[in-house]
Amino acid sequence: MNPGSRPRRRVPALSGASLSRRLRLAQLDLFEKVLETGSILAASRELAITQPAVSKSLRELEQQLGGALFVRGKHGVTLTELGQLFARHARAMTSGLQDMADELNAWHGGTAGRVVVGAMLSATVALLPEAISRLRDMAPDVLVTIRVGPNSVLFPALARGEIDLMVGYLPANASAATKDAAPGTRLVHVPLYDEGMSVVVGPDHPLAHRTDVRVAELHRFEWIVPTPDAVAYPAVRALFEREGLSLPRSRVESISILTNVGLLARRPMVALMPHSVATRLASAGLVVVLPLPSLGSFSALGYTRRAEQGMNMALQHLIDALHAVGDALQRGAGLDLS
């Protein structure tokens, strides 16, 4: 009778849990090596263990599975029917382990993984897109998830560990950010560059092609200004106070970049925007930056992370990219942001 089809020994019913307790990963490796070489002796040589040790491990595996896996002969071994069944699943398991090893190596090397970024709208036009583009060149398999919102929402989410990094204006006082966080949670704020303000209009605005413009003559137009709770709002008030003017009565308060661009395209309005945002939109032909004297910087733009946070390589790569882009923006270097 063919040993591969001899009557099966009765064994207790198996389950995934029982097999996970019985089988060892080393047994799978050993089985695969015997199958690959076709010989217990050859397998023992490649694995650098004794032939009796290989034979013993195989016998233990056969006992756990309830039957012979190989037919031993003078010229090596061949699979039994049970061995053929087990070989299919063993290959799947070892292949899965290799896939996991590859993914773990990629994760540790920063070429795979996931980074969740909280972003203020001010960072979503120039700084963050360029940084993510650089990250994609370095590590195309890293999944980047962007959550957009105000400081009042994103900082607490960062403190609670729901996001990995916050990118945007660095507030003067972010103590409220840790309100809902675990005791001892600390946030680290890292400035990248100082952000200034620009006054912009739509391409068809009557003042779009003027080479000399004064704030006083802009006062009669409808305006778009940041909301009172925005970081840039004090700079807006200062702009008009320096000219002895009040805030325009006819105004829309908005920090929505898409809404503001849409309004400028439809009405002869004037808007205040962060300089990096205005420059990017002007290069795309969506707005015109008016030639006014420098309004000065109103805030540092950068990123915030948890002090106790572990730094995987994917996150580190993104931070490195943010620093590179921030340096270029601080120098006024000509980034191709079109």
pLDDT score at 253: 94
- Give the CATH superfamily of 113-192+302-331: Periplasmic binding protein-like II (3.40.190.10)
How far is the C-alpha of 70 from the C-alpha of 57, rounded, in Å? 13
Q: What is the mean pLDDT of residues 256-261?
A: 92
pLDDT score at 338: 41
In this predicted model, which residue has the larger pLDDT, 179 or 167? 167
Judged against a pLDDT cut of 60, whether residue 336 lies above it is answered with: no
Tell me the percentage of the chain whose pLDDT exceeds 90.
Answer: 29
**Every domain of the chain and the residues it spans:** 12-108, 113-192+302-331, 194-298
Q: What is the mean pLDDT of residues 62-69?
A: 89
Tell whether pTM > 0.95: no
SS (H, E, C) 245-258: CCCCCCEEECCCHH
Give the rounded distance of the alpha carbon of 153 from its chain centre.
Answer: 19
How far is the C-alpha of 50 from the C-alpha of 246, rounded, in Å? 90
Lowest mean pLDDT among 4-13, 170-179, 293-302: 4-13
Q: How confident is the model at residue 129 (pLDDT cuts 50, 70, 90)?
A: very high
pLDDT score at 172: 66
Condensed to tens digits (0 to 9), the pLDDT of residues 40-65 reads: 999 899 889 999 999 999 999 888 88
Judged against a pLDDT cut of 50, whether residue 1 lies above it is answered with: no
Judged against a pLDDT cut of 60, whether residue 2 lies above it is answered with: no
> Are the folds of 113-192+302-331 and 194-298 the same?
yes
Judged against a pLDDT cut of 60, whether residue 4 lies above it is answered with: no
pLDDT score at 159: 83
In this predicted model, which residue has the larger pLDDT, 219 or 95? 219
Tell me the percentage of the chain whose pLDDT exceeds 70.
Answer: 86
Judged against a pLDDT cut of 60, whether residue 175 lies above it is answered with: no
**190: which DSSP letter?**
E
Burial of 15 (0-12, 13-18, 19+ CB in 10 A): exposed
Q: How confident is the model at residue 66 (pLDDT cuts 50, 70, 90)?
A: confident
Does residue 197 sit in helix, strand or coil?
A: strand
Condensed to tens digits (0 to 9), the pLDDT of residues 272-323 reads: 988 888 988 999 999 999 998 777 777 788 999 888 777 778 888 899 999 9
- Going by DSSP bridges, is the β-strand pair 251-253/222-225 parallel, antiparallel, or unpaired? parallel
Does residue 227 sit in helix, strand or coil?
A: coil
For the 194-298 domain, the top CATH level (class) is alpha beta
For domain 12-108, give its CATH number from 1.10.3470.10, 3.40.190.10, 3.20.20.60, 1.10.10.10: 1.10.10.10
pLDDT score at 9: 55
Does residue 147 sit in helix, strand or coil?
A: strand
Q: What is the mean pLDDT of residues 197-225?
A: 91
CA-CA-CA-CA torsion sign (219, 220, 222, 228)? positive
Condensed to tens digits (0 to 9), the pLDDT of residues 12-40 reads: 676 767 676 777 888 888 898 998 899 99
Condensed to tens digits (0 to 9), the pLDDT of residues 97-111 reads: 766 776 677 667 766
